Amino acid sequence: MSSIKPRTMPGVLELLPLDQIAFQGMLDTIRRNYERFGFLPVETPVMEFSEVLLTKSGGETERQVYFVQSTGALEQGGTPELALRFDLTVPLARYVAEHEHELSFPFRRYQIQRVYRGERAQRGRFREFYQCDIDVIGKDHLSIRYDAEMPAVIHSVFRELDIGPFTIQLNNRKLIRGFFEDLGIADGERQMLVLREVDKLDKRGADAVRATLQGEGFGLPAEVVARIMDFVSTRSTGHDHALACLERLGRGNPTLAQGADELREVLTLVRAFGVPETHYALNLSIARGLDYYTGTVYETHLTDYPQIGSICSGGRYDNLASHYTKSKLPGVGISIGATRLFWQLREAKLIGTADSTVQVLVTQMDEADLPKYLELAGLLRSAGIPTEVQMEPRKLAKQFQYADRAGIRFVAVLGPDELAKGVVTIKDLRKQDQFEVARGDLVKTLRVEIEQAAAMKGR
Protein backbone atom coordinates (compact mmCIF):
# COMPACT_ATOMS: atom_id res chain seq x y z
CA MET A 1 0.00 0.00 0.00
CA SER A 2 0.87 3.71 0.17
CA SER A 3 2.53 3.44 -3.21
CA ILE A 4 1.16 6.57 -4.88
CA LYS A 5 2.52 10.01 -4.12
CA PRO A 6 -0.38 12.29 -3.18
CA ARG A 7 -0.05 15.45 -5.27
CA THR A 8 -2.08 17.99 -7.24
CA MET A 9 -1.46 19.05 -10.82
CA PRO A 10 0.65 22.20 -11.30
CA GLY A 11 -1.15 25.52 -11.71
CA VAL A 12 -3.87 25.06 -9.10
CA LEU A 13 -4.25 26.86 -5.78
CA GLU A 14 -5.17 24.34 -3.10
CA LEU A 15 -5.39 25.99 0.31
CA LEU A 16 -5.08 24.87 3.89
CA PRO A 17 -8.30 25.41 5.88
CA LEU A 18 -7.47 28.79 7.44
CA ASP A 19 -6.38 30.15 4.06
CA GLN A 20 -9.51 28.67 2.54
CA ILE A 21 -11.54 30.59 5.14
CA ALA A 22 -9.80 33.82 4.10
CA PHE A 23 -10.44 33.04 0.44
CA GLN A 24 -14.05 32.07 1.09
CA GLY A 25 -14.46 35.37 2.94
CA MET A 26 -13.30 37.18 -0.18
CA LEU A 27 -15.77 35.29 -2.40
CA ASP A 28 -18.57 35.93 0.10
CA THR A 29 -17.84 39.66 0.11
CA ILE A 30 -17.88 39.76 -3.67
CA ARG A 31 -21.13 37.82 -3.83
CA ARG A 32 -22.79 39.95 -1.14
CA ASN A 33 -21.97 43.14 -3.02
CA TYR A 34 -23.11 41.72 -6.34
CA GLU A 35 -26.40 40.79 -4.71
CA ARG A 36 -26.76 44.22 -3.13
CA PHE A 37 -26.74 45.75 -6.57
CA GLY A 38 -29.54 43.46 -7.65
CA PHE A 39 -27.64 40.86 -9.66
CA LEU A 40 -29.08 37.36 -9.81
CA PRO A 41 -27.04 34.16 -9.47
CA VAL A 42 -26.39 31.83 -12.38
CA GLU A 43 -24.26 28.70 -12.46
CA THR A 44 -23.45 26.79 -15.63
CA PRO A 45 -21.98 23.29 -16.06
CA VAL A 46 -18.19 23.14 -16.04
CA MET A 47 -18.32 21.39 -19.44
CA GLU A 48 -19.81 22.70 -22.65
CA PHE A 49 -20.06 21.01 -26.01
CA SER A 50 -16.79 21.79 -27.81
CA GLU A 51 -18.78 22.99 -30.78
CA VAL A 52 -20.59 25.51 -28.59
CA LEU A 53 -17.50 26.60 -26.66
CA LEU A 54 -15.11 27.03 -29.56
CA THR A 55 -17.12 29.10 -31.99
CA LYS A 56 -14.50 31.75 -32.39
CA SER A 57 -11.69 31.18 -34.85
CA GLY A 58 -9.38 31.85 -31.93
CA GLY A 59 -6.14 29.90 -32.22
CA GLU A 60 -4.94 31.09 -28.80
CA THR A 61 -8.15 29.99 -27.10
CA GLU A 62 -8.23 26.54 -28.63
CA ARG A 63 -4.64 25.89 -27.79
CA GLN A 64 -5.43 26.47 -24.12
CA VAL A 65 -8.62 24.45 -23.86
CA TYR A 66 -9.01 21.29 -21.76
CA PHE A 67 -11.01 18.65 -23.58
CA VAL A 68 -13.10 16.09 -21.72
CA GLN A 69 -13.97 12.52 -22.66
CA SER A 70 -15.82 9.82 -20.82
CA THR A 71 -14.12 6.43 -20.74
CA GLY A 72 -16.46 5.22 -23.46
CA ALA A 73 -15.76 8.18 -25.76
CA LEU A 74 -12.02 7.80 -25.16
CA GLU A 75 -12.14 4.17 -26.27
CA GLN A 76 -14.00 5.10 -29.44
CA GLY A 77 -11.42 7.75 -30.35
CA GLY A 78 -12.23 10.83 -32.40
CA THR A 79 -12.46 14.49 -31.47
CA PRO A 80 -13.65 15.17 -27.92
CA GLU A 81 -17.23 16.32 -27.81
CA LEU A 82 -16.84 18.23 -24.52
CA ALA A 83 -14.48 20.85 -23.12
CA LEU A 84 -14.06 22.78 -19.87
CA ARG A 85 -15.11 26.45 -19.92
CA PHE A 86 -12.18 28.87 -20.17
CA ASP A 87 -14.16 31.92 -19.05
CA LEU A 88 -17.71 32.76 -17.92
CA THR A 89 -18.57 34.93 -20.91
CA VAL A 90 -19.05 32.20 -23.50
CA PRO A 91 -21.23 30.15 -21.09
CA LEU A 92 -23.23 33.34 -20.36
CA ALA A 93 -23.78 33.89 -24.09
CA ARG A 94 -24.93 30.28 -24.47
CA TYR A 95 -27.14 30.54 -21.34
CA VAL A 96 -28.84 33.76 -22.41
CA ALA A 97 -29.41 32.47 -25.95
CA GLU A 98 -30.73 29.13 -24.70
CA HIS A 99 -33.06 30.61 -22.08
CA GLU A 100 -33.81 33.86 -23.94
CA HIS A 101 -37.58 33.50 -23.70
CA GLU A 102 -37.52 32.66 -19.99
CA LEU A 103 -35.44 35.66 -18.90
CA SER A 104 -36.41 39.30 -18.28
CA PHE A 105 -34.26 41.95 -19.92
CA PRO A 106 -32.20 43.86 -18.96
CA PHE A 107 -30.91 40.58 -17.52
CA ARG A 108 -28.63 41.15 -14.52
CA ARG A 109 -26.62 38.09 -13.58
CA TYR A 110 -23.64 37.30 -11.41
CA GLN A 111 -21.64 34.12 -11.71
CA ILE A 112 -18.85 32.95 -9.41
CA GLN A 113 -17.27 29.76 -10.69
CA ARG A 114 -13.96 28.24 -11.64
CA VAL A 115 -12.64 28.33 -15.20
CA TYR A 116 -9.89 26.30 -16.86
CA ARG A 117 -6.98 27.18 -19.11
CA GLY A 118 -4.17 24.93 -20.23
CA GLU A 119 -1.59 27.64 -19.55
CA ARG A 120 2.08 26.88 -19.43
CA ALA A 121 2.93 26.26 -15.78
CA GLN A 122 4.43 29.42 -14.33
CA ARG A 123 4.47 31.12 -10.94
CA GLY A 124 1.28 33.12 -10.47
CA ARG A 125 -0.37 31.62 -13.55
CA PHE A 126 -3.29 29.35 -12.85
CA ARG A 127 -4.84 26.55 -14.86
CA GLU A 128 -7.87 26.51 -12.59
CA PHE A 129 -9.12 29.77 -11.13
CA TYR A 130 -12.26 31.52 -9.93
CA GLN A 131 -13.85 34.25 -11.95
CA CYS A 132 -16.48 36.48 -10.36
CA ASP A 133 -18.47 38.15 -13.11
CA ILE A 134 -21.42 40.46 -13.40
CA ASP A 135 -23.09 41.47 -16.63
CA VAL A 136 -26.19 43.40 -17.62
CA ILE A 137 -27.58 42.18 -20.93
CA GLY A 138 -30.15 44.16 -22.88
CA LYS A 139 -32.35 43.04 -25.72
CA ASP A 140 -31.80 45.14 -28.85
CA HIS A 141 -30.76 48.08 -26.70
CA LEU A 142 -29.03 48.77 -23.38
CA SER A 143 -28.75 52.26 -21.94
CA ILE A 144 -25.27 53.70 -21.40
CA ARG A 145 -26.41 54.28 -17.82
CA TYR A 146 -25.60 50.68 -16.97
CA ASP A 147 -21.99 51.45 -17.87
CA ALA A 148 -21.97 53.79 -14.86
CA GLU A 149 -23.25 51.09 -12.54
CA MET A 150 -20.14 48.92 -12.98
CA PRO A 151 -17.74 51.35 -11.24
CA ALA A 152 -20.29 51.67 -8.43
CA VAL A 153 -20.21 47.89 -7.92
CA ILE A 154 -16.41 47.78 -8.18
CA HIS A 155 -16.16 50.54 -5.58
CA SER A 156 -18.53 48.74 -3.23
CA VAL A 157 -16.67 45.43 -3.54
CA PHE A 158 -13.15 46.73 -3.03
CA ARG A 159 -14.08 49.15 -0.28
CA GLU A 160 -15.44 46.20 1.65
CA LEU A 161 -12.53 43.91 0.79
CA ASP A 162 -10.43 46.57 2.50
CA ILE A 163 -7.18 45.97 0.65
CA GLY A 164 -6.07 49.61 0.40
CA PRO A 165 -6.73 52.57 -1.89
CA PHE A 166 -7.68 51.85 -5.50
CA THR A 167 -8.71 53.66 -8.65
CA ILE A 168 -11.23 52.56 -11.24
CA GLN A 169 -9.86 53.67 -14.57
CA LEU A 170 -12.15 54.36 -17.49
CA ASN A 171 -11.74 54.68 -21.21
CA ASN A 172 -13.93 54.23 -24.26
CA ARG A 173 -13.15 52.19 -27.37
CA LYS A 174 -14.95 54.64 -29.64
CA LEU A 175 -12.77 57.39 -28.31
CA ILE A 176 -9.67 55.35 -29.12
CA ARG A 177 -10.93 54.41 -32.54
CA GLY A 178 -11.88 57.98 -33.43
CA PHE A 179 -8.55 59.30 -32.22
CA PHE A 180 -6.54 56.87 -34.34
CA GLU A 181 -8.75 57.41 -37.39
CA ASP A 182 -7.99 61.11 -37.10
CA LEU A 183 -4.30 60.22 -37.28
CA GLY A 184 -4.88 58.14 -40.39
CA ILE A 185 -4.53 54.83 -38.54
CA ALA A 186 -7.92 53.40 -39.47
CA ASP A 187 -7.20 49.69 -39.24
CA GLY A 188 -8.29 48.26 -35.89
CA GLU A 189 -5.53 45.70 -35.75
CA ARG A 190 -2.89 48.32 -36.43
CA GLN A 191 -4.39 50.48 -33.65
CA MET A 192 -4.00 47.56 -31.28
CA LEU A 193 -0.39 46.96 -32.27
CA VAL A 194 0.40 50.60 -31.54
CA LEU A 195 -1.40 50.41 -28.19
CA ARG A 196 0.46 47.24 -27.30
CA GLU A 197 3.72 49.03 -27.96
CA VAL A 198 2.60 51.97 -25.86
CA ASP A 199 1.68 49.56 -23.09
CA LYS A 200 5.42 48.86 -22.70
CA LEU A 201 6.07 52.48 -21.67
CA ASP A 202 6.71 51.60 -18.04
CA LYS A 203 9.02 48.73 -18.89
CA ARG A 204 10.96 50.11 -21.84
CA GLY A 205 10.76 53.86 -21.27
CA ALA A 206 9.38 56.59 -23.52
CA ASP A 207 12.45 56.87 -25.75
CA ALA A 208 12.50 53.18 -26.67
CA VAL A 209 8.76 53.12 -27.42
CA ARG A 210 9.04 56.29 -29.48
CA ALA A 211 11.90 54.77 -31.44
CA THR A 212 9.89 51.63 -32.20
CA LEU A 213 6.82 53.53 -33.37
CA GLN A 214 8.93 55.77 -35.61
CA GLY A 215 11.04 52.82 -36.77
CA GLU A 216 10.60 50.46 -39.71
CA GLY A 217 7.75 48.30 -38.41
CA PHE A 218 5.33 51.15 -37.76
CA GLY A 219 6.92 53.98 -39.68
CA LEU A 220 4.88 56.70 -38.01
CA PRO A 221 5.95 60.35 -38.33
CA ALA A 222 7.45 61.90 -35.18
CA GLU A 223 4.52 64.29 -34.84
CA VAL A 224 1.94 61.50 -34.93
CA VAL A 225 3.93 59.55 -32.35
CA ALA A 226 4.02 62.62 -30.13
CA ARG A 227 0.24 62.98 -30.33
CA ILE A 228 -0.20 59.29 -29.51
CA MET A 229 2.12 59.54 -26.53
CA ASP A 230 0.24 62.58 -25.33
CA PHE A 231 -3.15 60.87 -25.76
CA VAL A 232 -2.30 57.66 -23.96
CA SER A 233 -0.63 59.43 -21.07
CA THR A 234 -3.88 61.22 -20.23
CA ARG A 235 -4.86 60.48 -16.60
CA SER A 236 -7.42 62.57 -14.78
CA THR A 237 -6.92 63.61 -11.17
CA GLY A 238 -10.53 64.37 -10.23
CA HIS A 239 -14.02 64.61 -11.63
CA ASP A 240 -13.76 68.09 -13.17
CA HIS A 241 -10.32 67.34 -14.51
CA ALA A 242 -11.69 64.23 -16.22
CA LEU A 243 -14.32 66.35 -17.97
CA ALA A 244 -11.65 68.90 -18.91
CA CYS A 245 -9.45 66.16 -20.40
CA LEU A 246 -12.36 65.11 -22.62
CA GLU A 247 -12.99 68.73 -23.60
CA ARG A 248 -9.37 69.15 -24.65
CA LEU A 249 -9.71 66.31 -27.21
CA GLY A 250 -12.02 68.45 -29.35
CA ARG A 251 -14.94 67.22 -31.43
CA GLY A 252 -13.55 66.85 -34.94
CA ASN A 253 -14.11 63.15 -35.50
CA PRO A 254 -17.69 61.91 -34.91
CA THR A 255 -16.56 58.56 -33.50
CA LEU A 256 -14.24 60.28 -31.05
CA ALA A 257 -17.00 62.74 -30.17
CA GLN A 258 -19.42 59.90 -29.46
CA GLY A 259 -16.86 58.17 -27.25
CA ALA A 260 -16.26 61.42 -25.35
CA ASP A 261 -20.01 61.97 -24.91
CA GLU A 262 -20.43 58.46 -23.55
CA LEU A 263 -17.56 58.90 -21.12
CA ARG A 264 -19.00 62.23 -19.98
CA GLU A 265 -22.37 60.65 -19.23
CA VAL A 266 -20.76 57.69 -17.48
CA LEU A 267 -18.55 59.95 -15.34
CA THR A 268 -21.52 62.09 -14.33
CA LEU A 269 -23.57 59.07 -13.29
CA VAL A 270 -20.66 57.38 -11.54
CA ARG A 271 -20.58 60.42 -9.30
CA ALA A 272 -24.36 60.23 -8.83
CA PHE A 273 -23.89 56.58 -7.75
CA GLY A 274 -21.87 57.98 -4.86
CA VAL A 275 -18.43 56.81 -5.95
CA PRO A 276 -15.94 59.32 -4.48
CA GLU A 277 -13.96 61.13 -7.16
CA THR A 278 -10.74 59.88 -5.59
CA HIS A 279 -11.73 56.41 -6.76
CA TYR A 280 -12.30 56.86 -10.49
CA ALA A 281 -10.28 58.43 -13.26
CA LEU A 282 -9.86 58.62 -17.00
CA ASN A 283 -6.96 56.59 -18.32
CA LEU A 284 -6.84 56.86 -22.09
CA SER A 285 -4.24 54.09 -22.46
CA ILE A 286 -6.68 51.35 -21.48
CA ALA A 287 -7.94 49.29 -24.42
CA ARG A 288 -8.71 45.70 -23.14
CA GLY A 289 -8.08 43.71 -26.31
CA LEU A 290 -9.30 44.11 -29.84
CA ASP A 291 -12.31 41.99 -30.59
CA TYR A 292 -14.74 42.14 -27.81
CA TYR A 293 -15.36 45.56 -26.30
CA THR A 294 -16.96 48.37 -28.27
CA GLY A 295 -17.57 51.21 -25.78
CA THR A 296 -16.66 51.87 -22.15
CA VAL A 297 -13.74 49.85 -20.79
CA TYR A 298 -12.64 49.50 -17.15
CA GLU A 299 -9.59 48.56 -15.17
CA THR A 300 -9.04 48.76 -11.44
CA HIS A 301 -5.64 49.35 -9.87
CA LEU A 302 -4.40 49.29 -6.30
CA THR A 303 -2.69 52.62 -5.69
CA ASP A 304 0.09 51.15 -3.56
CA TYR A 305 0.60 48.01 -5.64
CA PRO A 306 0.69 49.02 -9.32
CA GLN A 307 2.73 45.93 -10.16
CA ILE A 308 -0.31 43.73 -9.42
CA GLY A 309 -1.99 45.16 -12.52
CA SER A 310 -5.74 45.39 -12.95
CA ILE A 311 -7.71 43.58 -10.25
CA CYS A 312 -11.09 44.04 -11.93
CA SER A 313 -11.66 44.71 -15.61
CA GLY A 314 -14.43 44.74 -18.15
CA GLY A 315 -16.39 46.81 -20.57
CA ARG A 316 -19.29 47.31 -22.94
CA TYR A 317 -19.94 45.04 -25.91
CA ASP A 318 -22.39 45.33 -28.81
CA ASN A 319 -23.61 41.80 -29.11
CA LEU A 320 -23.15 38.97 -26.63
CA ALA A 321 -24.35 35.91 -28.42
CA SER A 322 -24.26 36.35 -32.18
CA HIS A 323 -23.11 32.76 -32.62
CA TYR A 324 -26.18 31.33 -30.90
CA THR A 325 -29.09 33.67 -31.63
CA LYS A 326 -30.26 36.24 -34.15
CA SER A 327 -31.37 38.54 -31.30
CA LYS A 328 -29.09 41.47 -30.69
CA LEU A 329 -27.93 41.35 -27.08
CA PRO A 330 -25.72 44.29 -26.07
CA GLY A 331 -24.19 44.17 -22.62
CA VAL A 332 -21.72 45.52 -20.13
CA GLY A 333 -19.82 43.57 -17.50
CA ILE A 334 -16.82 43.19 -15.25
CA SER A 335 -14.79 40.28 -13.94
CA ILE A 336 -12.65 39.68 -10.87
CA GLY A 337 -10.09 36.89 -11.14
CA ALA A 338 -10.38 35.93 -7.48
CA THR A 339 -7.80 33.14 -7.35
CA ARG A 340 -5.04 35.22 -8.86
CA LEU A 341 -6.09 38.25 -6.79
CA PHE A 342 -6.00 36.24 -3.57
CA TRP A 343 -2.61 34.81 -4.45
CA GLN A 344 -1.22 38.27 -5.27
CA LEU A 345 -2.62 39.87 -2.13
CA ARG A 346 -1.08 37.12 -0.06
CA GLU A 347 2.26 37.55 -1.82
CA ALA A 348 2.04 41.29 -1.09
CA LYS A 349 1.16 40.45 2.53
CA LEU A 350 -2.09 42.40 2.20
CA ILE A 351 -4.03 39.43 3.51
CA GLY A 352 -2.95 36.86 6.03
CA THR A 353 -4.33 33.60 7.27
CA ALA A 354 -7.84 34.04 8.65
CA ASP A 355 -9.04 33.23 12.11
CA SER A 356 -11.03 30.03 12.23
CA THR A 357 -14.72 30.11 11.41
CA VAL A 358 -14.99 28.16 14.67
CA GLN A 359 -15.61 30.70 17.44
CA VAL A 360 -15.76 28.52 20.56
CA LEU A 361 -14.04 25.38 21.79
CA VAL A 362 -15.91 23.73 24.67
CA THR A 363 -13.26 22.02 26.77
CA GLN A 364 -13.52 18.62 28.35
CA MET A 365 -12.78 18.69 32.10
CA ASP A 366 -14.32 15.39 33.12
CA GLU A 367 -15.28 12.67 30.70
CA ALA A 368 -18.45 11.92 32.64
CA ASP A 369 -19.71 15.44 31.95
CA LEU A 370 -19.49 15.07 28.16
CA PRO A 371 -23.31 15.29 27.82
CA LYS A 372 -23.17 18.66 29.58
CA TYR A 373 -20.50 19.90 27.18
CA LEU A 374 -22.59 18.73 24.26
CA GLU A 375 -25.63 20.50 25.66
CA LEU A 376 -23.66 23.75 26.00
CA ALA A 377 -22.39 23.39 22.44
CA GLY A 378 -25.95 22.78 21.28
CA LEU A 379 -27.03 26.02 22.91
CA LEU A 380 -24.30 27.97 21.13
CA ARG A 381 -24.88 26.27 17.78
CA SER A 382 -28.62 26.94 17.94
CA ALA A 383 -27.72 30.59 18.32
CA GLY A 384 -25.62 30.33 15.16
CA ILE A 385 -22.25 30.41 16.92
CA PRO A 386 -19.85 27.87 15.36
CA THR A 387 -18.66 25.63 18.17
CA GLU A 388 -16.37 22.65 18.52
CA VAL A 389 -16.41 20.27 21.47
CA GLN A 390 -13.34 18.50 22.85
CA MET A 391 -14.62 14.96 22.36
CA GLU A 392 -11.72 12.93 23.72
CA PRO A 393 -9.98 13.37 27.10
CA ARG A 394 -6.84 15.47 26.87
CA LYS A 395 -4.81 17.64 29.21
CA LEU A 396 -6.41 21.06 29.59
CA ALA A 397 -3.23 22.84 28.55
CA LYS A 398 -3.24 20.83 25.31
CA GLN A 399 -6.83 21.81 24.69
CA PHE A 400 -5.94 25.50 24.99
CA GLN A 401 -2.90 25.02 22.80
CA TYR A 402 -5.07 23.35 20.17
CA ALA A 403 -7.60 26.24 20.18
CA ASP A 404 -4.81 28.78 19.91
CA ARG A 405 -3.15 27.06 16.97
CA ALA A 406 -6.45 26.42 15.25
CA GLY A 407 -7.33 30.13 15.39
CA ILE A 408 -10.34 29.57 17.67
CA ARG A 409 -10.84 32.68 19.76
CA PHE A 410 -12.97 31.60 22.72
CA VAL A 411 -12.51 28.63 25.01
CA ALA A 412 -15.49 27.71 27.20
CA VAL A 413 -14.71 25.98 30.48
CA LEU A 414 -17.46 24.14 32.33
CA GLY A 415 -15.84 22.61 35.40
CA PRO A 416 -17.49 21.51 38.66
CA ASP A 417 -17.37 25.08 40.06
CA GLU A 418 -19.03 26.51 36.98
CA LEU A 419 -21.64 23.76 36.95
CA ALA A 420 -22.44 24.39 40.62
CA LYS A 421 -22.76 28.14 40.06
CA GLY A 422 -24.66 27.93 36.75
CA VAL A 423 -21.96 29.88 34.94
CA VAL A 424 -19.42 29.32 32.18
CA THR A 425 -15.85 30.59 32.23
CA ILE A 426 -14.84 32.07 28.89
CA LYS A 427 -11.21 32.59 27.99
CA ASP A 428 -10.69 35.07 25.20
CA LEU A 429 -7.43 33.91 23.60
CA ARG A 430 -7.14 37.00 21.48
CA LYS A 431 -7.54 39.52 24.29
CA GLN A 432 -5.76 37.22 26.74
CA ASP A 433 -8.72 37.82 28.97
CA GLN A 434 -10.99 35.63 31.06
CA PHE A 435 -14.46 36.15 32.49
CA GLU A 436 -17.33 34.28 34.08
CA VAL A 437 -20.73 34.64 32.54
CA ALA A 438 -24.14 33.38 33.67
CA ARG A 439 -25.38 30.67 31.38
CA GLY A 440 -28.44 32.66 30.42
CA ASP A 441 -26.26 35.56 29.23
CA LEU A 442 -23.69 33.47 27.38
CA VAL A 443 -25.13 33.68 23.87
CA LYS A 444 -25.76 37.41 24.10
CA THR A 445 -22.29 38.11 25.49
CA LEU A 446 -20.49 36.07 22.84
CA ARG A 447 -22.57 37.54 20.04
CA VAL A 448 -21.57 41.05 21.07
CA GLU A 449 -17.89 40.08 21.19
CA ILE A 450 -18.04 38.33 17.81
CA GLU A 451 -19.89 41.21 16.15
CA GLN A 452 -17.42 43.72 17.51
CA ALA A 453 -14.54 41.67 16.15
CA ALA A 454 -16.24 41.41 12.75
CA ALA A 455 -16.95 45.15 12.71
CA MET A 456 -13.31 45.90 13.53
CA LYS A 457 -12.27 43.84 10.54
CA GLY A 458 -14.50 46.05 8.40
CA ARG A 459 -16.94 43.32 7.52
188-198 helix and 173-182 helix, angle to the nearest 10 degrees: 100
Report the nearest approach of its own copies to the CB of residue 392 (Å): 5
Strand bridging mode 40-41 / 107-116: parallel
> Which amino acid belongs to residue 123?
R
Nearer to its own copies, 251 or 457 (CB): 457
State how far the Cα of 286 lies from the Cα of 277, in Å rounded to an integer.
Answer: 19
Residue 358 backbone zone (phi > 0: left; psi -120 to 50: alpha; other: beta): beta
DSSP 322-374: TTT-SS---EEEEEEEHHHHHHHHHHTTSS-PPPPS--EEE--S-GGGHHHHH
Nearer to its own copies, 209 or 275 (CB): 275
Stated as kind and residue range, the H or E segment containing 161 is helix 145-161
Nearer to its own copies, 255 or 357 (CB): 357
Nearer to its own copies, 65 or 232 (CB): 65
Report the nearest approach of its own copies to the CB of residue 144 (Å): 10
Pair 317, 268: CB distance under 8 Å = no
Pair 304, 165: CB distance under 8 Å = yes
Nearer to its own copies, 299 or 449 (CB): 449
Total length of the chain:
459
Report the nearest approach of its own copies to the CB of residue 403 (Å): 10
Report the nearest approach of its own copies to the CB of residue 433 (Å): 22
Report the nearest approach of its own copies to the CB of residue 347 (Å): 19
Nearer to its own copies, 51 or 366 (CB): 51
Report the nearest approach of its own copies to the CB of residue 147 (Å): 10
Listed residue (307, 237, 245, 335) closest to 279, CA to CA: 237
Residue 285 backbone zone (phi > 0: left; psi -120 to 50: alpha; other: beta): alpha
